[in-house]
Amino acid sequence: MPLSKYRFIVVEGPIGVGKTSLARRLSERLGAAMLLERPEQNPFLARFYQDMARYALPTQLFFLFQRIGQLREMSQLDMFKSHTISDFLLEKDPLFARLTLSGEELHLYQTIYDTLKPQAPRPDLVIYLQAQSDTLIERVRQRATDYERPISEDYLALLADSYSRYFYHYDGAPILIVNSERLNFVRNDGDLDLLIERIAAMRGGREFFNLGE
């Protein structure tokens, strides 16, 4: 396996950037297990996009408990005897909370998160996918998932900016920051090959990958 030293890889990025698609492709190529978000199981998500102020807290708490449960299940199966690719980083979870919660609700969420956070394993590598907000908007509209239809362009732009700020300061694991504007990991095997080669060549704790480099 070309990336054998990375037993737990997390692919991250804002809505529409392609993190789940890349996680699936890496899992297939590397013969790794998958640990993926399950947004379709969240009963509050569709209502959240229609009325964020009302449904932000239950939506956020459902995702938090879901992700904690998934990580716990994988740990019980001794995930580190094999390689695992995930499309979510638990440490990033409060990013959404700070965008949509305030006051007592944010305090409640943060208290619960601080209690559960130590149960999350540390990734060996984080791949952070970047794209301009216009690109995210186009990709979200193209995939036309029913519960995502009400997402506003302003929210996507704010989310992209929040991700950028978060990962600018992130130091919890080695990170490869990837400009995904000109890369198509689903339809172009060559792009996936280039990414795997770039990961295998990593030597520092923070590196960048642009197709034009």
Alpha carbon separation from 98 to 56, 131, 159, 164, 204 (Å, rounded): 10, 21, 11, 15, 30
Beta bridge partners of 208: 177
> Token digits for 68?
């904690």
Helices (H) and strands (E) in the chain, counts: 8, 6
* Active-site choice (78, 87, 114, 146): 87
Residue type, 172: G
The torsion angles phi and psi of 69, rounded to 5 degrees, stand at -65, -40
Scan for tokens 């239809």, then name that residue.
149
Question: Strands 33-35 and 8-12, how do they pair?
Answer: unpaired
Total residue count of the chain as it appears in this document: 213
Q: Is 78 annotated in the active site?
A: no
Known catalytic residues are 87
